[in-house]
A = this chain, B = another copy of it.
Amino acid sequence: MKTKDELPDCPVATTVSLIGSKWKLLILRNLLARPWRFNELRKDLDGISQKVLTDSLRSMEEDGIITRTVYAEVPPRVEYALSELGESMRPIIKSMEEFGIRYKKSIASQ
């Protein structure tokens, strides 16, 4: 979690400091549906590198947005899921979805 002093004064900038990247937004979108495994995310997020996915997941875990659970199987299964904090970001992705739906309709009708 970030401390109070690390956060920008502006609440929009605060949110942007947590999920202001293409990949974090798309990871959040995926995890809002269900927990995902690392390799599943890597296959689904077209064009993401292993390093950027690892870094994005670690950063979101450190910020308390997602949880990382290791299941003692062979090979070990690692699953990423949303925390309560991450779940509370649903309205952001919802508003992006609603905009995207309207935008795609307007483009299609041109």
Task: List residues of chain A with CB under 8 Å of any chain B CB.
Answer: 1-4, 7, 10-16, 18, 20-22, 25-26, 29, 85, 88-89, 91-104, 107-108
Q: Is the interface of A mostly helix, strand, loop or mixed?
A: helix
Copies of this protein chain in the complex: 2
- Nearest first, the 4 A-B pairs at minimum CB distance are A11-B100, A14-B100, A20-B22, A15-B96
Q: Chain B's nearest CB lies how many Å from the CB of A31?
A: 12
Residues of B within 8 A of A88 (CB): 99, 102
Whether A11 pairs with B91 at a CB distance below 8 angstroms is no
Whose C-beta in chain B lies nearest to the C-beta of A13?
Answer: B26
CB <8 Å contact, B21 and A103: no
A16 cross-chain contacts in B, Cβ below 8 A? 22, 25-26, 96
